[in-house]
Amino acid sequence: MLYTQEDVLGQLSKVSRLVKREIDATLLPYSLHTGQWALIKAVALLQPVSQVQLADYLIIEKPAVTKTVSRLETLGFITRIKEGRTHFVSLTPLAIERFDQIDAAVQETHQRLLASFSLTDQQQLGEWMTHLLTLHRQEESS
């Protein structure tokens, strides 16, 4: 079957919504949702990190980062330190303690969602997604 670009991107959008719904269900026992978990993972990778850097890394608007950081701060997962006009974000001891358990649950969901794909196909899919993101980031920086 020959797909048009619109068909492919439409399907990608639907798959994205499906994955988000499944990951949100996995995160529910931890009082988190997909966007919050993505931010926690980014902070774990980059900390200490500014909110502007988080917005760029996650490809989301700065007000969304501020709102998510505030919510995660209330939940006890994130701490903010202000240096001049910049807020730097780090994980709290609670987040560090729970990180591996939450990540394992999310990874299990990922594995379940990709179970019907061979490892080669999973690798190819990852390469395509990385390519799309790289192109997007190059266009934004131009």
CA separation for the pair 78, 94 (Å, rounded): 9
Phi and psi angles of residue 84, each rounded to the nearest 5 degrees, phi first: 65, -125
pLDDT at 121: 93
Residue-wise pLDDT for 64-99, tens only, equals 999 999 999 999 999 999 999 999 999 999 999 999
| Alpha carbon distance 135, 127 (integer Å) | 12
Residue 5 has pLDDT above 80, yes or no: no
**What's residue 142's pLDDT?**
65
Residue 9: band (very low, low, confident or very high) from pLDDT cuts 50, 70, 90: confident
Residues 6+ apart with CB under 8 A from 66: 51
pLDDT tens, residue by residue, 13-57:
899 999 999 999 999 999 999 999 999 999 999 999 999 999 999
What is the rounded CA–CA span in Å between residue 128 and residue 76? 36
Domains of the chain are: 5-141 (1.10.10.10)
Confirm if 113 and 74 have CB atoms less than 8 A apart. Answer: no
3-state secondary structure of 59: coil
User: Radius of gyration of the chain from Cα atoms?
Assistant: 17
Question: The tokens of 130 are what?
Answer: 């990385």
pTM over 0.85? The answer is: no
Amino acid at 27: L
Nearest 5°: phi and psi at 3? Answer: -100, 145
Measured CA to CA in angstroms, residue 83 lies from 39, 65, 87, 110 at distances of 20, 18, 6, 37
User: Which pair of tokens denotes residue 68?
Assistant: 């998510």
- How does pLDDT run across 59-70, given as a tens digit for each residue? 899 999 999 999
